């Protein structure tokens, strides 16, 4: 999985045309990956001001508007990819970023569960399978 982080305030300070230009820079890459079957899904996320954080403590639900963590960069979107290993996932991720990109992309393997909900061997973090 590719997790895309960015400085939300910097993004929101861009004009609509500038935001569209930033998104358009990724389109050829996204189209190539989609045609090759490497992209399984993904989407941008609304700003953190629309988030809700939920916890349960002593049997009571605690709801906080907004994000839980105060950080310089916020999760701005995700992309689910099919990569044979970590190296291929990093190669796919690197082609999303260009000079001056506003984003930071984290590559993180997904834990696969067996039919009995047991965690399958951790091959994705070592050899790759899915990212």
User: What pLDDT score was predicted for residue 107?
Assistant: 94
Domains observed in the chain: 2-107 (3.30.70.1060)
Chain-centroid distance of CA 70 in Å reads 18
Q: Quick: pLDDT tens for 81-117.
A: 999 999 999 999 888 777 778 889 999 998 888 888 8
**Cα dihedral across residues 3, 4, 7, 13: positive or negative:** negative
Chain-centroid distance of CA 130 in Å reads 14
Model's pTM, two decimal places? 0.78
Q: Which segment of 49-53, 58-62, 100-104 scores lowest on mean pLDDT? A: 100-104
Q: Mean pLDDT over residues 109-127, rounded?
A: 73
């Amino acid at each position: 999985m590719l997790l895309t982080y960015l400085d939300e305030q910097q993004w929101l300070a861009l004009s609509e045309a500038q935001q569209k230009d930033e998104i358009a820079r990724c389109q050829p890459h996204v189209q190539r990956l989609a045609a090759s079957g490497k992209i399984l899904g993904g989407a941008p996320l609304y700003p953190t001001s629309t988030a809700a954080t939920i916890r349960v403590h002593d049997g009571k639900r605690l709801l906080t508007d907004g994000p839980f963590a105060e950080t310089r960069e916020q999760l701005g979107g995700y992309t689910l990819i099919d990569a044979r290993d970590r190296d291929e996932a990093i190669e796919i991720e690197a082609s999303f970023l260009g000079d001056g990109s506003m984003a930071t992309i984290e590559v993180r393997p997904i834990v696969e569960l067996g039919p009995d909900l047991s965690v399958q061997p951790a091959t994705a973090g070592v050899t790759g399978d899915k990212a």
